A and B are shown apart, each in its own frame.
Chain A
Amino acid sequence: KAGVTQTPRYLIKTRGQQVTLSCSPISGHRSVSWYQQTPGQGLQFLFEYFSETQRNKGNFPGRFSGRQFSNSRSEMNVSTLELGDSALYLCASMTRGRTRDTQYFGPGTRLTVL
């Protein structure tokens, strides 16, 4: 089975711009979670989608949003980029999002905001 894929792998944007990142989960997985990883804060949960619905959200401003499509693929969007948004954005998929489901991560998208 193919793993979680994320595109693009690298992005460079300038402050004030917006960006869209894409994630394709493992086939059959319906839950997709997004995380931000930075040297200062570590790995932090952004939000989770299941069956096209956001079920859970972390403590991030409204500039961070996402969506999920009927094929379980997910996108996240960051508007009005700030320097502090520079990070590795990771997507993880799991079957249904139950407590004991294993999350499998993609390679991440490295976003640099100049």
Chain B
Amino acid sequence: GESVGLHLPTLSVQEGDNSIINCAYSNSASDYFIWYKQESGKGPQFIIDIRSNMDKRQGQRVTVLLNKTVKHLSLQIAATQPGDSAVYFCAESPDNAGGTSYGKLTFGQGTILTVHP
């Protein structure tokens, strides 16, 4: 059938605001979740991760929240800066037998974050 391009959600914020990017995941067996940032012309860059036995993890200016009940993940960026403008992806990794995902991450569609000075 005809393929349809992904229409990525967009989030536009002012510099200094806090940003919240949301992600719904589908696999209840997923054990590990990661947020990546991808700038134009570059590969995805690791931001922060969280394991399924946690519901919150903080990094430098970023916080990830995990709600396993509704299978929802969010990334909060504090004091957003123009350099944060990028596409943000959540990714999930299943916990196959033996704790080995064999390298397979399932990515969300991504969210375009634009930060205005």
- B10 → chain A, closest Cβ, in Å? 15
B12 at the interface (CB under 8 A from A): no
By a CB distance below 8 angstroms, the chain B residues around A98 are 99-101
- Is the C-beta of B5 less than 8 angstroms from some C-beta in chain A? yes
CB-CB under 8 A from B106, the residues of chain A are 45
User: How far is A102 from B59 in the complex, measured between Cα atoms in Å?
Assistant: 15
In the complex with contacts A99-B93, A105-B43, A42-B105 CB distance below 8 A? no
Residues B103 and A55 in contact, CB atoms below 8 Å apart: yes
Q: Are A43 and B6 in contact (CB under 8 A)?
A: no
Q: Are A41 and B51 in contact (CB under 8 A)?
A: no
Q: Looking at the complex, which one of B5, B41, B95, B100 makes contact with A39 (CB distance below 8 Å)?
A: B5
User: In the assembled complex, how far is the CB of residue B65 from the closest CB belonging to chain A, in whole angstroms?
Assistant: 18
Instruction: Tell yes or no: A94 within 8 A of B by CB.
Output: yes
Give the contacts of A52-73 with B (CB-CB under 8 A). Answer: 55-56, 58
Contact: A42 with B6, CB < 8 Å?
yes
B61 within 8 A of A: no
Q: State how many angstroms separate the Cβ of A82 from the closest Cβ of chain B.
A: 13
Contact B51 A100 (CB under 8 A): yes
**CB-CB contacts of B40-59 with A at 8 A, as 1s and 0s?**
01111110010100000000
SS class, residues of chain B in contact with chain A: loop
A interface residues, how many (CB within 8 angstroms): 34
Taking the complex as formed, is A103 at the interface, i.e. its CB lies under 8 A from any CB of chain B?
yes
Interface string of A86-108 (1 = CB under 8 A from B): 00001010100111111111111
Q: Which of B3, B94, B96 contacts A41 (CB 8 A)?
A: B3
Interface flags, A25-61, vs B, CB<8A=1, else 0: 0000001110100011111110111100001101000
Contacts of A100 in B (CB 8 A): 31-32, 49, 51, 93, 99
Residue among B4, B36, B103 with most chain A CB within 10 A? B103
> Which of B51, B93, B99, B110 is close to A42, meaning CB atoms less than 8 Å apart?
B110
Given contacts A90-B44, A105-B45, A107-B43, contact A48 B104 (CB under 8 A): yes
Knowing that A42-B107, A100-B51, A100-B99 touch, tell me 4 more A-B residue pairs with CB under 8 angstroms: A42-B108, A97-B102, A97-B103, A99-B100
